[in-house]
Structure 1
């Protein structure tokens, strides 16, 4: 492929269009001019079966599929006359969702006779469906989102999609672009599968270690049998001092993590003065302490890294344990194996009295260290593979943008 450098001005050989700057030999068309539009027919959750006709429900477009749909996850036994069946190359876009940008999600079905559920916009075209799917998900995504309407539930109608202007290269160039991006997808899928395999191996190793099927030795001798202790006997359940809403702001200061931003990027801050005052006077985690979510998704853990940050009281707690008894590195892996129990309330919550009763295995400290070190090696390997996966996705995203706008041109044999 050959590359043309793009300047702030429209370069020679390119044209400014309503679909953006594109090569002179590409055309701009309305979706209504190149496609027919249909709507799927309702397939409810209770209509899913173990056998029957392969089917796609609109929610699966968010959770199971990307630009191409080859392997179908669900089946239905509904009568065929109650179904809308796909044709190979159909493009599917959700017709309703929680946000406009979520609706801008296109997938190309690569099989005939797949039943397509309700709330799915179906675009049927003689153009390359895989190319169009990539294009709609990338170059046109924000423009599609602007077409959606609604407040609590957002809707995207075929009448909106018909008005969308897109750029089209020749069919051979569409195919070549689709082929290149498909190769990248296969590399990404292979990397994802490798990560899944490594995670399964690590989980199996953890099971063997914690069930004591596999034991370490100390200078050739067996370690003694493990004890079992309640968390309340290992250390004190602690939490930060309560922060009032009026004491927070959205722009500057020390990060304040609420349960919704626990382990993520925060959207709230407190003053440095308040932070230093509360750290000095009240409970505060030490570097390496294991923070636990006691509300929302129960039992999520974050290892406190020692950087300035404050944590929502009662919703985020930790055990103030003595590392001469139990290492934090070992305790973190223990937490991942706990089946956390909650009070039977409207909102699930992990109360202190329940947390105190949770039982934790307690080998000698040296064996704890050996177990934690081995599992950390496995986690480090997985983390490296995940970083490589993210780099592949980032590289594909950049390449996709350039290919689909003609900044990089492909050679057609």
Structure 2
């Protein structure tokens, strides 16, 4: 076998034995979930003392065994589903959509069954420990993904018959332990950094709530109070624009509304960038109507990256008077402000996107501080964003370090 670039040594400085070649069938047992017909919705029942939980992809993706939606009776479990049981120590893997997400159920996890989108893995503990298995399995499905996706960073789980025959090189148990302890230390640092990012994000939410509810007010430079916030109609603040692209912007200026960045040219599929797009100027805001957990009705986003073009499906609004761009970037994300407006402005909700009625929207009102206070609020929240971005960068650096180490530790 090729020698890993990074190897541990014994406590007395000696080399560990060479890694042993095995197959994935040698190191674990695998079980795919039942056919969909075995877990139809009519089979599910309300949770009780006599039910068994159904584990889904969300458990593997979110790394949370407590998430739950569906249950079957214990009788159905005993008669039909017992071979699909999972409990603490088992590894569940997502097999559809977001493929390859692994999660080891903790020892105190509730016993349940896997659904059709999951695979259960039970490692052979006499051969391999959990940490090492997850590393080599992830490397295998990542390699398989590259094979079928022209080099894209996707994951793919090969057919069981092929997967079980694949070779895998395994270190001796003492070296496995060394590797596991090292990676556990890295994982602990990463998890703590995730907690730091989350804490700062929650802190920012709290500050935004206090600022936009006016529980906390800034003062002017001379210590005097700013003027009271003024209630203004949307129609007095914004007007809808339908500025067509006249050829001044190409595919390199196609803006992703959802994430507010310039899309890669090779990912822009539209051939009608002059006739089927609108120009979005810096400072403009656009309504993106896809609902999600964070934004029930969809959301407005402010263009803070520069002029460009977007699909004509997204309505664009432009300021009528002087404004502080960053203030509005934050203000339109405040749920307590915008939900009241959306409830009276959303006219239809399709399967994937809500629509905004322009007339109803412009009739709504919003409280607006003076420009000087807008600037104070924007500066405060921008400072918090800078801290959050630095913490996220630290998290990304640790993840990248771990990725690089794994590439050197496994072949």
TM-score normalised to the size of structure 1?
A: 0.73
Deviation at 1:155, TM superposition (A): 8.1
Deviation at 1:385, TM superposition (A): 0.8
Deviation at 1:398, TM superposition (A): 0.9
Structure 1 alignment gaps of length 5 or more? 7-22, 149-153, 406-413
CA distance in 1: counterparts of 2:251 and 2:278, whole angstroms: 20
CA distance in 2: counterparts of 1:168 and 1:356, whole angstroms: 65
Quote the residue 2:12 is aligned against. Answer: none
Closer, same or farther: CA 171–268 of 1 in aligned 2, 3 Å = same
Deviation at 1:355, TM superposition (A): 3.4
* Equivalent in 72, 94, 99 of residue 103 of structure 1: 99
Give the SS at the match of 1:330.
helix
Matched, 1:367 2:370: no
Quote the residue 2:240 is aligned against. Answer: 237
Deviation at 1:117, TM superposition (A): 1.6
CA distance in 2: counterparts of 1:134 and 1:4, whole angstroms: 14
* Equivalent in 286, 290, 299 of residue 296 of structure 1: 290
Backbone CA RMSD of aligned residues: 3.9
Q: Which moved more, 1:216-225 or 1:77-86?
A: 77-86
Quote the residue 2:327 is aligned against. Answer: 330
Q: Which moved more, 1:138-147 or 1:362-371?
A: 138-147
Q: Which moved more, 1:198-207 or 1:336-345?
A: 336-345
Closer, same or farther: CA 145–198 of 1 in aligned 2, 3 Å = same
CA contact (8 A) 1:94 1:121 kept: yes
Quote the residue 1:254 is aligned against. Answer: 252
* Equivalent in 172, 179, 184 of residue 182 of structure 1: 184
CA contact (8 A) 1:334 1:361 kept: no
Number of paired residues? 358
Deviation at 1:225, TM superposition (A): 1.8
* Equivalent in 196, 220, 223 of residue 223 of structure 2: 220
Deviation at 1:399, TM superposition (A): 0.9
Quote the residue 2:142 is aligned against. Answer: 141
TM-score normalised to the size of structure 2?
A: 0.73
Quote the residue 1:199 is aligned against. Answer: 201
Quote the residue 2:346 is aligned against. Answer: 342
CA distance in 2: counterparts of 1:63 and 1:105, whole angstroms: 6
CA deviations over 1:167-189 (Å, ceiling 9, x no partner): 21112222222222222121111
Structure 2 alignment gaps of length 5 or more? 7-15, 150-155, 292-297
Closer, same or farther: CA 174–321 of 1 in aligned 2, 3 Å = farther
Closer, same or farther: CA 226–191 of 1 in aligned 2, 3 Å = same
* Equivalent in 164, 167, 175 of residue 166 of structure 2: 164
CA distance in 2: counterparts of 1:264 and 1:343, whole angstroms: 30
CA distance in 1: counterparts of 2:130 and 2:262, whole angstroms: 36
CA contact (8 A) 2:245 2:309 kept: no
CA distance in 1: counterparts of 2:157 and 2:18, whole angstroms: 35
Q: Which moved more, 1:373-382 or 1:51-60?
A: 51-60
CA distance in 2: counterparts of 1:118 and 1:264, whole angstroms: 39
Closer, same or farther: CA 196–167 of 1 in aligned 2, 3 Å = same
Deviation at 1:231, TM superposition (A): 2.0
Closer, same or farther: CA 105–371 of 1 in aligned 2, 3 Å = closer
